[in-house]
Amino acid sequence: MKLLIEALTKFTCGFLLVGLLIFLPAGTLRYTYGWLFMGLLFVPMLIAGFVMLAKSPEFLKKRLDAKEKKGTQKGVVAFSGLMFVAGFVVAGLDFRFGWSAMPACVVIIASVLFLVAYALYAEVMRENAYLSRTVKVEEGQTVVDTGLYGIVRHPMYAVTILLFLMIPLVLGSWYALISFGFYPAVIVVRLKDEEELLTRELPGYCEYKQKVKYRIIPFIW
């Protein structure tokens, strides 16, 4: 029950915060693409939360812990937070003042890709029981090298890049894409710092890097 209350509290706070960041700058609740994004983001999140609560409460508890301890990662999280705030606010202002003229087909395609990325994210969580929102090595942790982890070393980051780059398109804002466009660079900083830790502290990770050559994009990087 305590875990359920904590999860629902964070979910509600997240819903209200994102809603305020989008609809307050928009100056209205009649922002259709804003509601589309809210539905695409929070409905699957709520369903996934209840599934984790029922099947793996310890994993849910781990996912709720987002407090980084390393200096570099704290900086990454802080910058990411600013990026998201700026992106949502710009999207709302864009709708309010009519800066962008995005075709509906682009929004539809972006929405489909957003859900595809969400499904892949769920698959990553299923494959890796050690997946955490913070960069650390747990006691007894082993290298996962099957499934998506057999294609790239950091499938979670690959998926989140697709996920987050679709956000401004779902919101119908070309200008918000400028803010979210910084996300891949943020991920590169986080990823390199994380790989240093894993190479140093996770047994078998050096061999895994030799086996799986690419970090987030097959045949490229």
Q: What is the pLDDT of residues 13-66, one digit of tens each?
A: 999 999 999 999 999 999 999 999 999 999 988 888 887 777 777 766 766 665
> pTM, whole model, 2 decimals?
0.85
The CATH code of domain 2-211 reads 1.20.120.1630
Beta carbons of 43 and 115 less than 8 angstroms apart: no
**Collapsed DSSP state (helix, strand, coil) of residue 198:** helix
pLDDT of residue 176: 96
Q: pLDDT tens digit string along 176-191?
A: 999 999 989 888 888 8
Q: In Å, how far are 50, 56, 123, 187 from 77, measured between CA atoms?
A: 26, 26, 23, 10
Q: pLDDT tens digit string along 113-156?
A: 999 998 998 888 888 776 765 666 666 778 888 888 889 988 98
